[in-house]
Amino acid sequence: MALAAGDKLGPYEIIAPIGAGGMGEVYRARDSRLGRYVAIKVATERFSDRFEREAQAIAALNHPNICQIYDVGANYLVMELIDGTPLKGPLSVETAVLLALQITSALEEAHRKGITHRDLKPSNILVTREGIKLLDFGLAKREHAAAESDATVTLTQVGTVLGTAAYMSPEQASGKQTDVRSDIFSFGAVLYEMLSGHRAFRGDTLGATMAAVLRDEPRPLHAAPELAPIITRCLRKSPADRFQSMTEVKTSLTAVRPGESAPSIAVLPFANMSGDKEQEYFSDGLTEEIINALAQIPGLKVTARTSAFAFRGKEQDITRIAEALHVGTILEGSVRKAGNRIRVTAELINATDGYHIWSQRYDRQLEDVFAVQDEMAAAIAAALRVKLSVEPAAVRRHTPIIPAHEAYLRGMHYVLNPTPASFSHAKQHLEQAIALDPGFALPYSMLGRGYFARAYYGLLPAGEAMPLVRREAQTALDIDSSLPEAQGLLGSVAAVYDYDWKLAEHYYQLAMAHEPVPALVRFSYAASYLLNLGRSLDATHQMALAVRDDPLNGLYHVMLGMCLEASGKDGSEELRRAVELDDNHFLTFLVLGWINASRGRIAEALAAAERAYSLAPWRSGAIGELAGVLVLSGNRDRAQGLLDKLGSGQAYGASHGLATFHLLCSDIDRAADWVEKAIEERDPSVLHSLRAPYAQPLRSSRHWPKLAKLMNLPPEAL
């Protein structure tokens, strides 16, 4: 029904029409009771059912970037009056990223509440002075609502569909079932238009536009190379090939540095063609050294070893690998070792079109292997010179002998595997590397990292481990005074063992001064320093950059999830990603346990806690968490058995486990006592427990000032 100025709907007086709003007309009105101006959306009878669903969807959401609902009548909605204009492009990369992050945040909240928007388009996104406001949930689908044909929604109103079809996902356009990944496709189309100023999919008619969505790829986006891989992945035709959650999209956007379009490369593990499985360490070592050499080239982004090596032995399309690693070029090759000679073949591939940029074969004596590595790095840099326009790679500081390097690689592999047996193997190989080449700094630093991990994972008392960490890191710095991994390691010791935050800051400033900053250093900076000081947003940023540089490192996704949770956001998606990458790391399930427990999802928390305990039965935190979740689920008898295990001294760091148990059970006074004991023991892992959501009551209690003082934390580190 049409309304005129002066008409009334209950206590609301119509002032003027604003325009059409999806399934009704929108008017500016005044609320006579509260004296405020509002927007009133009046439904046509034809759309009354979906109009009611829109009201329910908006009412379920409370987010600063989503239009708020104030009231509902028989055929009208009363909503926040927004002073803004519809989203239009082209925009600068900086502005587009800023607005896109707000859009993803709004959709992330909707998806978390089980609501899929299904009509995301620029006209439903208003830009205000404060940011964006997402409108029009008229086509929204709730996860637990009665099933509705998506084909019916698609063909509702020809005038609306023609405007909407360009942003529909292929599955929505073809009438198939939709989920949150449909919104991700629509977001990709919106982001494309924000940057280019025109639609990703165009047609003169509804049918032509929908055919373009189903069949065509958008024109290449040259205006924003930093964002092109994100948009491409959002717009994959198959939902399985897109980002799987809006959290993943937001994480990728967070890692974008506007204005930076530096060339990027991933070095895939060189194939071992020698027929001898033992020679894989040699080919791995060659790959590792080429990665290190390329990382010294200013302006070149190089994917970390962990992520690149995740594709070992997997036959996958180069463009998909590059997309997963966020790089523009791929280096792959093979190594054949026979007697004292090696043959190395290498190919540099443009990931966008699959064409070869450069290829070369090297036949050399074995003792010339490091010369081959430097020669290859220089050749690759020359091949990319048109993009780089910078000085060549830095000179290699130290050339380790081959057996020492192979032993180092073996040791590093075991250090990253947190089990009691693995560190013994790591120590053996790293000490072998040191004995073979005492001037090789990295094995000392990695050995120190292993001792630190043993303390954090509850395998060695901190009082025994940390002096050893400090000794090995300092030895590494005696050899190479600017080694960032060793500087970061000393920063971690100063933070979580000495509680000397100024000294920790000094070491991290030194470690972070290197370009490129190693992903491991960013991880340590976020985990040991920023998060513990309550700087969760800074920690989240550092971890997003670490994930950007090493996207297939499960541990980094775990820490990013922890940082998100500490900043009041949902980190569960990062944990799910970590499980996909490695389902045998107990820390992933430990964190999943307390995330689910803090949200009241006890069954899921119990399953995660059981898994963490099965993987790390020695870990006091895993014992305490499982005991706490068992109490929450009503199984006090089994919980008591686990508490008896802690009390009997069968697990090192029982104080941490008991603190975790009492925090989960909301017994703040007893939890505070055990936290104090864990602090006195210098247990490095207790600090992360204090940043978990279930510890918020403790941080808000009368006990916190004393506990914070014991750790020398500043008052603002809440």
DSSP structure string for 78-103 = EEE----EE--S---HHHHHHHHHHH
CB 183 within 8 A of CB 246: yes
Dump pLDDT digits (tens) for 542-577.
898 888 888 888 899 999 999 988 888 888 889 988
> What is the DSSP code (8-state) at residue 357?
E
Q: What is the mean pLDDT of residues 207-234?
A: 84
Q: Which two tokens stand for residue 512?
A: 């972070």
**Residue 368: per-residue pLDDT:** 67
Active-site annotation holds for 119: yes
Q: Which two tokens stand for residue 458?
A: 């509850």
- 143 Cβ neighbours under 8 A, 6+ residues apart: 114, 115, 116
Dump pLDDT digits (tens) for 480-523.
888 899 999 999 999 999 999 989 988 898 888 777 788 889 99
Peptide bond into 64 cis (omega under 30): no
**Residue 682: per-residue pLDDT:** 92
* Confidence at 373, pLDDT banded by 50, 70, 90: low
Dump pLDDT digits (tens) for 132-144.
899 877 666 666 5
* Confidence at 298, pLDDT banded by 50, 70, 90: low
**Residue 47: per-residue pLDDT:** 47
Highest mean pLDDT among 90-94, 135-139, 514-518, 529-533: 529-533
Dump pLDDT digits (tens) for 153-163.
433 333 333 33
**Residue 213: per-residue pLDDT:** 92
CB 669 within 8 A of CB 703: yes
> What is the DSSP code (8-state) at residue 70?
E
**Residue 395: per-residue pLDDT:** 43
**Residue 255: per-residue pLDDT:** 72
Angle formed at CA 231 by CA 227 and CA 235, multiple of 5 degrees: 175
* Confidence at 674, pLDDT banded by 50, 70, 90: very high
Domains delineated in the chain: 8-80 (3.30.200.20), 85-254 (1.10.510.10), 264-396 (3.40.50.10610), 397-515 (1.25.40.10), 584-718 (1.25.40)
**Residue 399: per-residue pLDDT:** 75
Q: What is the mean pLDDT of residues 660-672?
A: 93
**Residue 363: per-residue pLDDT:** 76
Comparison of pLDDT for 694 and 339, the residue scoring more: 694
CB 96 within 8 A of CB 188: no
**Residue 153: per-residue pLDDT:** 40
**Residue 259: per-residue pLDDT:** 54
**Residue 635: per-residue pLDDT:** 93
Burial, 634: exposed, middle or buried (Cβ in 10 Å; 0-12, 13-18, 19+)? exposed
119, 183, 480, 550: the catalytic one is 119
**Residue 43: per-residue pLDDT:** 78
Pairing of strands 36-43, 24-31: antiparallel
> What is the DSSP code (8-state) at residue 711?
T
**Residue 208: per-residue pLDDT:** 87
Decide if pLDDT at 325 tops 90: no
Decide if pLDDT at 308 tops 90: no
Query: How far, in Å, CA of 410 to CA of 408, rounded?
Result: 5
Comparison of pLDDT for 336 and 376, the residue scoring more: 336
Please report, to the nearest 10 degrees, the dihedral formed by the alpha carbons of residues 484, 487, 488, 493 taken in order: 160
CB 713 within 8 A of CB 533: yes
Dump pLDDT digits (tens) for 10-61.
899 999 988 765 567 899 999 988 889 999 988 765 545 666 666 677 777 7
Comparison of pLDDT for 538 and 281, the residue scoring more: 538
Query: How far, in Å, CA of 546 to CA of 6, rounded?
Result: 58
Decide if pLDDT at 387 tops 60: no
Question: What is the rounded average pLDDT for all residues in the chain?
Answer: 83
Dump pLDDT digits (tens) for 430-457.
999 999 999 999 999 999 999 999 998 8
- 553 Cβ neighbours under 8 A, 6+ residues apart: 304, 306, 307, 519, 546, 547, 581
Angle formed at CA 187 by CA 182 and CA 193, multiple of 5 degrees: 135
